[in-house]
Amino acid sequence: MRLLILDRDGVINEDSDAFIKHPDEWVPVEGSLHAIAMATRAGARVVVCTNQSGIARGLFDVSRLHQIHQKMLAAVKAAGGMIEAIFFCPHAPEEKCECRKPQPGMLHEVARRLRVPLEYVPAIGDRESDIAAARAAGARPVLVLTGAGRETADIIGQARDVAVYPDLAAVVEHLLATEWVGSH
């Protein structure tokens, strides 16, 4: 089964040091919506796992987060794609919860709810915490150079277990050309 686990900020949409607090601030990374549509057409299930500490910081509430996600889902649908589920951690880093990346709790929840093993499943992110969560959950860490990806690449160096691509579209194109050829 084809499954993609995507981080949100910096992978699907442009990131902001000031947080994405309102739907008007949600702007897709160039090519990301098309990439999700390509994956969807290829029969992949696409889920999002995103840290959203802005909730714990009082910058926005869960209702506003849902509005942001509704904008994202509508944009993905308009491009011909589908995001099956969105998992998010509302906690601040100092809360030391199990669901906040780099902990693997959110990815384990994906595996539990979808009833799929995460081995070989690409978990695509732009930050070191995304890579660490993928490793800890037994998924395949994939780094994109959008968002904070270039800085993350400098930090992790040439880690053998991390595939690096310019953006989400390049990841999906690679999967379509190699691993997903003829598989269902």
The mean predicted confidence, pLDDT, of the chain is 95
pTM for this entry? 0.95
Least confident residue range of 67-76, 117-126, 175-184: 175-184
Q: Which residues contact 89 (CB under 8 A, 6 or more apart)?
A: 50, 51, 52, 53, 97, 99, 100, 101, 105, 106
Compute the average pLDDT of residues 152-172.
Answer: 92
Higher pLDDT, 155 or 90: 90
Contact in structure between 171 and 162 (CB atoms under 8 Å): no
Compute the average pLDDT of residues 47-58.
Answer: 97
Phi, psi values for residue 158, rounded to 5°: -100, 55
User: pLDDT digits over 119-130, tens only?
Assistant: 999 999 999 999
- Closest Cα to residue 11, out of 31, 37, 41? 31
Residues classed as catalytic: 7, 9
Compute the average pLDDT of residues 74-81.
Answer: 98
Angle at CA of residue 12, ends 83 and 127, nearest 5°: 120
Contact in structure between 51 and 100 (CB atoms under 8 Å): yes
Contact in structure between 51 and 89 (CB atoms under 8 Å): yes
Most confident of 9-18, 151-160, 171-180: 9-18
Domains of the chain: residue spans and CATH: 7-124+132-142+150-177 (3.40.50.1000)
pLDDT at 179 over 70: yes
